[in-house]
Structure 1
């Protein structure tokens, strides 16, 4: 057990709603920035935790696509929160599961005594990277931000019970944005393929890859961690697509103890897991002493799972 507890959480959701049939998606307007949304979520989390920005020891940015290449998104968020203080700031990126990776990293800093208070900020504006010609992805994504404040817990029964992460590189190009950094920098944009700067996904190939590897990955996690399905109050998976339900069924996760709100919110990329966790906490669906599992898949192909006792 790596001792830590969530003492505050906050979310930010755009007001603009786009409907595709019965499904609802949230998209930011032109005068709202990615950074605005992240800072809004961070300020809400800090207020709920009664923590001042200058009390933060570490800010972890956990977005799939950052605000800009340099500096890191965490530093830009910190700049908006305070110009003083003593915090370090850096980004953690495992695309859609970046929050889970960041929570794993944060718990290790807290356990080691290197930090007392950590802010994790996640969120993406996927709508600004979408290709209208790829209907599957164009109608799937929502924009959102989410943040949590973590502290080392005085209760040894609260914290990260176990975690696992793995990448299958044979599927590295199933989901990608190729342009924008060193592979295709801005100065070559005029001669580059414009599609390289938009989200590109082979949904069928990605799904088949996930179906092949996830059962064994999750079975190994449960065996190694000793966390049984009956121990888990709620599973909070990345809201990847409409295939989420069948995939969770395949993994044997009970329908009454899992979050599946893809139809109402879509794929919020890195904000997906913390946003849904915050909703569950706000609704009282889970609370102190409950074990939750945060999990999901991401580009790479990467899978994450983390068991947290609240």
Structure 2
């Protein structure tokens, strides 16, 4: 059963500053711009695209991998930037790099149940402010970006639009392959002087993370397609998390056709939680997909978590 929802608008925020590593381009947030600035800009553009104001939003879902501050939630801080007079609830959903997919699933359930009519979902990270220059693999991989979507409850007329099927699973044996250990209760700020400064920087065992992904994804994707009844021929476009240069070989292994998938790691890098919604917005802006198309949003995240969601536009 389709969980009815429609995309009413979208917006993105991309830093003007770029750096190059060989032939690859990465986007790095400007020194005088904050994470909150970037997220608010994407949300404002999404609201404008939808033709509404923040006061018309019922719920704001934050889907960043790393928030602006521990308390309050990032969604509340973004809502403060958008309006001081609205009626929306606000909370965060976090499955790290695939947080947007999880949040979209949550939003579709609220909309389909009739609990809300209009939901704003945003994602975005300033991962480059957490990078360790001594870890070249990750230091040269990440970009900063923000993306936001306005979702509405389906009107009911015409073909059904919304979330057709979803799956999410975590393999805890790989929980520490990708992490930032410091900053919250495990290693609070007042203990910074007595802890390892590297605990406050991004740490990734890239080889182990890749091997874990290659072990679990084929079965995960296979189960999803069997239980959902969605064939590869049904899908207009796969929008995967732009995790690394290994994306192409992994998509080949899953049997996903080159002409119906997005692989722009070389041009944009890994945008963490913004990766999937940013690429979906680009596909919509370019007309690569449109009304009635079935798209699949998918990817892996720290945890090790995998997400897949089929959306009828």
User: Under a length normalisation based on structure 1, what TM-score does the superposition of the two structures give?
Assistant: 1.00
Of the three residues 181, 200, 209, the one matched with 2:212 is: 209
* Alignment map for 1:54-73 (pairs within 5 Å): 54-73=55-74
Query: Secondary structure of the equivalent of 1:286?
Result: coil
Distance in 2 (alpha carbons) for counterparts of 1:52 and 1:300: 36
Query: Secondary structure of the equivalent of 2:124?
Result: strand
Distance in 2 (alpha carbons) for counterparts of 1:86 and 1:154: 22
Shift of 1:60: 0.2
- Give the structure 2 partner of residue 304 of structure 1: 307
Distance in 2 (alpha carbons) for counterparts of 1:236 and 1:177: 26
Query: Secondary structure of the equivalent of 1:37?
Result: helix
- Give the structure 2 partner of residue 269 of structure 1: 272
| 1:165 paired to 2:168 | yes
- Give the structure 2 partner of residue 283 of structure 1: 286
Distance in 2 (alpha carbons) for counterparts of 1:153 and 1:47: 20
Distance in 1 (alpha carbons) for counterparts of 2:153 and 2:229: 23
* Alignment map for 1:40-189 (pairs within 5 Å): 40-155=41-156, 157-189=160-192
Distance in 1 (alpha carbons) for counterparts of 2:101 and 2:278: 12
Shift of 1:6: 0.6
Shift of 1:157: 1.2
Alignment RMSD (CA, Å): 0.5
- Give the structure 2 partner of residue 228 of structure 1: 231
Shift of 1:264: 0.2
Structure 1: gaps spanning 5 or more residues: none
Distance in 1 (alpha carbons) for counterparts of 2:188 and 2:294: 44
Distance in 2 (alpha carbons) for counterparts of 1:230 and 1:289: 14
* Alignment map for 1:15-26 (pairs within 5 Å): 15-26=16-27
Distance in 2 (alpha carbons) for counterparts of 1:209 and 1:267: 18
Distance in 2 (alpha carbons) for counterparts of 1:213 and 1:288: 32
Query: Secondary structure of the equivalent of 2:10?
Result: strand
Shift of 1:154: 1.6
Shift of 1:139: 0.1
CA displacement, residues 34-72 of structure 1 (integer Å, 9 cap, x when unaligned) = 000000000000000001110000000000000000000
Structure 2: gaps spanning 5 or more residues: none
Moved over 6 A (4+): none
Shift of 1:250: 0.4
Shift of 1:30: 1.2
Distance in 2 (alpha carbons) for counterparts of 1:69 and 1:51: 30
CA displacement, residues 109-136 of structure 1 (integer Å, 9 cap, x when unaligned) = 0011110000001000000000000000
Query: Secondary structure of the equivalent of 2:169?
Result: strand
CA displacement, residues 160-219 of structure 1 (integer Å, 9 cap, x when unaligned) = 000000000000000000000000000000111000000000000000000000000000
Query: Secondary structure of the equivalent of 2:215?
Result: helix
Aligned length: 310
- Give the structure 2 partner of residue 253 of structure 1: 256
Query: Secondary structure of the equivalent of 1:71?
Result: coil
Query: Secondary structure of the equivalent of 2:90?
Result: strand
- Give the structure 1 partner of residue 15 of structure 2: 14
Distance in 2 (alpha carbons) for counterparts of 1:295 and 1:82: 32
Distance in 1 (alpha carbons) for counterparts of 2:40 and 2:228: 35
